[in-house]
């Protein structure tokens, strides 16, 4: 005989252990031989049917009552904030790297007669701008929204002439070797 109960899923195991998926409900772990995708997901309110097998509680049926707030990964004790902190840190790292690259390659132009303190302010402003852009891109997955553009970009990459034999590689002949001019 099964027991039926309305519950909220607190956690879901990432993989099967000993042939079962694990689902944390009301502080206890329940097992199921089936994953119940899109039903037994974190924060979802569900109705479950379960049987006791010794100390184990085995879920034998599940029905979605209400979809819970999306879970953004990471978190544990911080309730999802860890995942967002990691996304932010990575976005900030990418902002720093790209700003450094722009400065090194001369693509970031300073206004004439810029003071050292003003340069620092400009650099930090650029890092902040890029950090926000990259963080929002992670949250929205903007770069993946346009499948046609992604496919075209991948097709274009396949067609590029990547060999160095045609002389059209942007090489000005100076490879930095100081001994090139010596005979």
Q: Average pLDDT, stretch 7-20?
A: 80
DSSP three-state, residue 32? strand
Residue 162: which residues within 8 A CB-CB, separation 6 or more?
none
Q: Are 12 and 22 in contact (CB under 8 A)?
A: yes
Higher-confidence residue of 175 and 85: namely 85
Residue predicted with more confidence, 161 or 149: 149
**What is the predicted pLDDT for the residue at 92?**
93
Q: What's the rounded Cα separation, in Å, for the pair 74 and 63?
A: 26
Tens of pLDDT, residue by residue over 37-86, are 888 888 899 999 999 988 889 999 999 998 887 655 554 555 567 888 88
Which of the four CATH numbers 2.40.50.140, 3.40.640.10, 1.20.1050.10, 3.90.180.10 does domain 3-66 have?
Answer: 2.40.50.140
- More confident site: 138 or 121: 121
Query: Domains of the chain: which residue ranges?
Result: 3-66, 76-159
Residue 174 reports pLDDT greater than 50: yes
Q: What is the reported pLDDT for 113?
A: 82
Q: Are 82 and 74 in contact (CB under 8 A)?
A: yes
For residues 12 and 21, the answer to whether their CB atoms sit within 8 Å is yes
Q: How many CB atoms lie within 10 A of CB 127?
A: 19
DSSP conformational letter for 76: G
Q: What is the pLDDT of residue 179?
A: 35
Q: Write down the pLDDT at residue 115.
A: 82
């Amino acid at each position: 005989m099964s027991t039926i109960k309305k519950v909220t899923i607190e956690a879901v195991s990432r993989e099967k252990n000993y042939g079962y998926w694990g689902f944390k409900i009301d502080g206890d772990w329940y097992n199921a031989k089936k994953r119940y995708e899109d039903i037994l997901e974190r924060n979802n309110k569900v109705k479950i049917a379960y049987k006791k097998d010794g100390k184990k509680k085995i879920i034998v049926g599940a029905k979605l009552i209400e979809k819970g707030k999306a879970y953004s990964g990471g978190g544990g004790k911080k309730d999802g904030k860890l995942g967002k902190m990691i996304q932010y840190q990575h976005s900030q790292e990418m902002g720093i790297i790209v700003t450094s690259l722009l400065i090194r390659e001369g693509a970031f132009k300073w206004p004439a007669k810029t003071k050292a303190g003003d340069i620092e302010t400009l650099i930090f402003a650029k890092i902040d701008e890029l950090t926000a852009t990259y963080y929002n891109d992670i949250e929205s997955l903007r770069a993946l929204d346009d499948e046609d553009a992604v496919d075209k970009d991948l097709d274009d990459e396949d067609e590029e002439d990547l060999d160095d034999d045609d002389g059209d590689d942007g090489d000005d002949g100076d490879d930095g070797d100081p001994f090139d001019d010596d005979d």
